[in-house]
């Protein structure tokens, strides 16, 4: 039996968790800085680093305490080292290094997006690779073929904005607040999703890449047009129509990839995976394929997913020494 302490600080959540054998969550502590960044309409990197620094020790202590163990019971420390805001990542990496050194246990470097995918192992103890995963968050939109616990192949990616980023930007234009994803899906509940047809972007037959900046620009142009002509509109209708366009694009590409690679298990991961409309669209078009997604608390940034991923990376011999550094940009299929 192995207890892994996971630490996550890549963006605006300071999180620590203890996970047993990669699948069983013993504690999952998350402190969010959202209320601080809200007033700026997005994450301010320098503020994020400072807030991580203030929170990290207390969050780690709470995670160990809530797990009902002591520091001496921890077998390994897993930490997000890439990708993310470099100053924010450094806080978690430094804390993890200090702990691993002090406890004399292995230090496991975890790729944040791999972590998002591994949230599905916690939510679905029976899930095993291979499966297809859509990772859609504020910083990434990837279709990934999960070939093994540590083998990942990117089949498609966004060429501009991430899906969550598009939600955030459109919410800002509509004055719906930050983060935009939950705000848009809430507004969309009262909207007509067929009110406006925002064009879906495709790069042609067999290409699974995404572009969301076009949909975002489509919304902005549409609003300018209406405002110039003095035509009234309902924000709810725009939110619902935008959401429909993004969701259908994600699901179109995902199902095409599943078909091409003969995969019958599809998972969702990342903040956007908590979008109800996305889950419903995928389930309604799954044609017998098994669909997996984590509970919302495991979709957005957390450290339980990092500890789960660390368990499998550790098993594959991926152990870092104390020279481990934060890397702001790193592909999911590359290890340093
Ligand atoms: O995974 P995450 O917590 O952080 C990153 O690694 O980026 O994802 C946050 C992103 C934000 O862009 C947020 O607007 C989006 O996920 N999001 C959603 C929903 N909940 C969060 N997007 C659409 N629908 C949601 N319900
Ligand atoms: Zn994330």
CA distances from 154 to 113, 157, 273 (A): 12, 7, 18
The pLDDT mean for the chain works out to 95
Residue 336 has pLDDT above 60, yes or no: no
pLDDT attached to residue 33:
82
**Mind listing the pLDDT tens digit for each residue in 63-94?**
999 999 999 999 999 999 999 999 999 999 99
**Mind listing the pLDDT tens digit for each residue in 224-267?**
999 999 999 999 999 999 999 999 999 999 999 999 999 999 99
Among all bound ligands, the one having the nearest atom to the CA of 278 is: 1
Q: Per-residue confidence at 335, pLDDT binned at 50, 70, 90?
A: low
Among all bound ligands, the one having the nearest atom to the CA of 165 is: 1
Among all bound ligands, the one having the nearest atom to the CA of 306 is: 2
Q: Per-residue confidence at 324, pLDDT binned at 50, 70, 90?
A: very high
Q: What percent of the chain has pLDDT over 70?
A: 99
Ligand 1 centroid vs 165 CA: distance in angstroms? 8
Has this prediction a pTM greater than 0.85?
A: yes
* Residue nearest ligand 1's atom 3 by CA: 300
Q: Per-residue confidence at 200, pLDDT binned at 50, 70, 90?
A: confident
Q: Please give all residues whose beta carbon lies within 6 A of any atom in ligand 1, as ranges.
A: 11, 137-139, 164-165, 167-168, 179-182, 185, 270-272, 274-275, 300-301
The pick from 115, 142, 161, 164 for probing ligand 1's pocket by mutation, whose C-beta has the most ligand atoms within 8 angstroms, reads 164
Residue 189 has pLDDT above 80, yes or no: yes
The pick from 158, 239, 272 for probing ligand 1's pocket by mutation, whose C-beta has the most ligand atoms within 8 angstroms, reads 272
Ligand 1 centroid vs 163 CA: distance in angstroms? 8
Ligand 1 centroid vs 271 CA: distance in angstroms? 3
Among all bound ligands, the one having the nearest atom to the CA of 114 is: 2
Residue 7 has pLDDT above 90, yes or no: yes
Cα dihedral 48, 49, 54, 60 sign: positive
pLDDT attached to residue 101:
98
Ligand 1 centroid vs 300 CA: distance in angstroms? 6
């Amino acid at each position: 039996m192995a207890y892994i302490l996971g630490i996550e600080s890549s963006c605006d959540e300071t999180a620590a968790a203890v996970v047993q054998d990669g699948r069983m969550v013993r504690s999952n502590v998350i402190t969010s800085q959202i209320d601080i960044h809200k007033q700026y309409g997005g994450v301010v990197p320098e503020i994020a680093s400072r807030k991580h620094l203030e929170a990290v020790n207390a969050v780690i202590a709470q995670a160990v305490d809530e797990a009902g163990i002591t520091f001496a019971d921890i077998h390994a420390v897993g930490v997000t080292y890439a990708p993310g805001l470099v100053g924010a990542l450094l806080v978690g990496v430094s804390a993890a290094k200090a702990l691993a050194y002090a406890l004399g246990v292995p230090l496991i470097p975890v790729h944040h997006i791999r972590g998002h995918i591994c949230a599905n192992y916690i939510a679905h103890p029976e899930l095993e690779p291979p499966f297809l995963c859509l990772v859609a968050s504020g910083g990434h939109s990837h279709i990934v073929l999960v070939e093994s616990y540590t083998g990942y192949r990117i089949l498609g990616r966004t060429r501009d904005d991430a899906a969550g980023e598009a939600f955030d930007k459109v919410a800002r234009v509509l004055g719906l607040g930050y983060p935009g994803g939950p705000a848009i899906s809430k507004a969309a509940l009262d909207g007509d999703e067929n009110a406006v047809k925002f064009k879906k972007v495709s790069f042609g037959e067999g290409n699974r890449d995404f572009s969301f900046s076009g949909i975002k620009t489509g919304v902005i142009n549409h609003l300018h047009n209406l405002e110039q002509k003095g035509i009234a509109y309902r924000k709810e209708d725009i939110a619902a129509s935008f959401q429909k366009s993004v969701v259908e694009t994600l699901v179109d590409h995902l199902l095409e990839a599943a078909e091409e690679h003969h995969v019958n298990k599809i998972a969702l991961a990342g903040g956007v995976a908590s979008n109800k409309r996305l889950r419903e669209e995928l389930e309604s078009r799954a044609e017998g394929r098994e669909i997996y997604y984590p509970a919302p608390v495991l979709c957005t940034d957390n450290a339980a997913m990092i500890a789960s991923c660390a368990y499998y990376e550790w098993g594959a011999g991926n152990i870092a020494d104390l020279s481990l550094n934060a890397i702001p940009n790193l592909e999911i299929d590359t290890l340093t």
